[in-house]
Amino acid sequence: MRLCYLDNLRSTLVVLVISMHAADTYSPLGNWYFTDRTPLSTSVLLFFAVWQMFLQAFFMGLLFFIAGLFVPGSLDHKGPLQFARERLWRLGLPVLFYMFVLGPVTEYYLAHSWTSTQPTSFASEWLKHIRNGEFLQENGPLWFCLALLIFSLGYTALRKLEPPQRPRAAPGTAGLIGFALIMAVATFLVRAGRPPTVLNMHPGDFAQYILLFTAGVLAARQQWLSQLSFKHGMVWVTLVATLGLVAWLAIIVAGGALEGDTGSYSGGWRWQSAALGLWESFTCVGACFGLLVLFREKLNYQTRLTKFAATNAFSVYVFHPPVVIALAEVLHLVALHPLLKFVLLTLGAVVASFVLSAVIFRRIPGLRTIL
């Protein structure tokens, strides 16, 4: 049985992914194929920082949690071999498609982010892209599918080691605080070594992703979603939005970010990195808890629009980069405030991506079986 609120939440998170990449276009705080950056006032820079850092604290982790919810039941129903084949098909093929087709087309024709000593043809650049191994780091947002594939196959391999499940109540306040603290410590320890990016995946974020995927599996096994308190979830998300914002500002000001000292936040044995990891972890737990119960209680229904969004959400996730880039290049020709461009780019890319998905992308033979 499909849970409408999880479909609606997943579609919403895909929209937030688009908004993040729209923000990356105009903000100096993120990396993206095409940027249109101008000097920003302190207030505008703070707006982008709050938006991007709050989103980064929870939205991909929540997608891993939702994905984890469906793994145990699917594995039980299909068995290890069929489950593994299905995961390789539904997750592995989109990654390969992006690495060898959509990513190269996007970089060469739209973003112009491939560089060469002499201008050459697409075919020549594509072959060079393969020969030098650059394609291994060029999976764009499909790093999520690659990571999810690894998590799913890893769970399948370790399934026999899973202890017998005894009914347990959903974690309360103490349990959630403990979970957030474990996440914070693990995140700090991983980032302390400043590990390099691997296959376009940032190890410093993976303590959160692994823990939330595991939490999704456990929540499915123990049927925790129905037990979560709406009232407590609203308390957590309210605290994230109020005290969490105050704590974030304190960390940014005290740590020297406003004076340009941002390197201390990204890793190493620095208090700034520890504080930011602690803030991220509690923000993540509070936002995930609050959004899950909010959608369960208030958005657990399906309309033609929400069904359309749910049907096309994965296709939009795969294909939104070229759409965002194309619209950003059009907006580049217009003299507007960066915040207004950000809003227009977000709205335009969301509408265009969903429409193109329904009208074109999911109708392409071969692609529709994996989208």
Is residue 202 predicted with pLDDT exceeding 80? Answer: yes
Can you tell me whether residue 198 is helix, strand or coil? strand
Is residue 116 predicted with pLDDT exceeding 70? Answer: no
Q: What is the pLDDT of residue 331?
A: 97
CA 2, chain centre distance (Å): 22
Q: Nearest-5° angle of CA 334, CA 19, CA 261? A: 90
Q: What is the pLDDT of residue 135?
A: 86
Is residue 162 predicted with pLDDT exceeding 80? Answer: no
248 Cβ neighbours under 8 A, 6+ residues apart? 50, 53, 54, 279, 283
How far apart, in whole angstroms, are the C-alpha atoms of residue 119 and residue 153?
42
Mean pLDDT on 297-326: 97
Is residue 237 predicted with pLDDT exceeding 70? Answer: yes
> Residue 224 has which token pair?
């925790």
pLDDT for 244-276, tens place per residue?
999 999 999 999 988 888 889 989 999 999 999
Is residue 137 predicted with pLDDT exceeding 90? Answer: no
Predicted model pTM: 0.96
Q: How confident is the model at residue 117 (pLDDT cuts 50, 70, 90)?
A: low
Q: What average pLDDT is seen over the chain?
A: 94
In eight-state DSSP terms, residue 170 is: P
How far apart, in whole angstroms, are the C-alpha atoms of residue 293 and residue 185?
26
Terminus-to-terminus CA distance in the chain, angstroms? 20
Q: Specify whether the CB–CB gap between 57 and 287 falls below 8 A.
A: yes
> 124 or 58, which is more confident?
58
Mean pLDDT on 283-291: 98
Domain ranges of the chain: 1-40+302-371, 79-161
Q: Specify whether the CB–CB gap between 209 and 147 falls below 8 A.
A: yes
Written as one letter, the residue type at 301 is: Y
Helices (H), 173-303: 173-192, 206-222, 230-241, 243-254, 271-298
Q: How confident is the model at residue 120 (pLDDT cuts 50, 70, 90)?
A: confident
**Per-residue exposure over 273-289, b if at least 16 CB sit within 10 Å of its own CB, e if not:** bbbbbbbbbbbbbbbbb
How far apart, in whole angstroms, are the C-alpha atoms of residue 320 and residue 94?
13
